[in-house]
Amino acid sequence: MSALEVTPQNVRALLAAPHKSPALYVQRYADDGQPLPGGPRLEVWAAAYVPGGDVLCTRSEAEDQLGARPDGDSLAWYAAEVLQPALDGLLGR
């Protein structure tokens, strides 16, 4: 399994998602229930449809930390200093 990293682009995707309440989460399995080829990946989807234990954060949580219009430095900080440690814990690293 390759090292999964949270990037500012992941945070941007979360903030820009069209869903009412999106979440950034770890997708571990394909729709057929089989493990994803290449290992887990980060995705954004409506929080109501995501297993709670796989959620890194919701848009609401990100906006609470970053404000309504975060700049690139804020996105990079949030990805590296807040979400990456959460991801590492979720993946047991």
Interval 38-52: pLDDT, tens: 899 999 999 999 988
- Taking residues 84-90, report their average pLDDT: 94
Q: Are 91 and 18 in contact (CB under 8 A)?
A: no
pLDDT value, residue 53? 85
Q: In which domain, by residue range, is 68 found?
A: 8-88
**Helix (H) or strand (E) segment spanning residue 72:** helix 72-77
Strand ranges in the chain using DSSP code E only, listed in sequence order: 22-27, 41-46, 55-58
**Any domain includes 83:** yes
**Any domain includes 2:** no
**Any domain includes 12:** yes
Name 24's bridge partners.
44, 57
Q: How confident is the model at residue 1 (pLDDT cuts 50, 70, 90)?
A: very low
Q: What is the mean pLDDT of the chain?
A: 92
**Any domain includes 1:** no
Tally of domains within the chain: 1
**Any domain includes 77:** yes
**Any domain includes 80:** yes
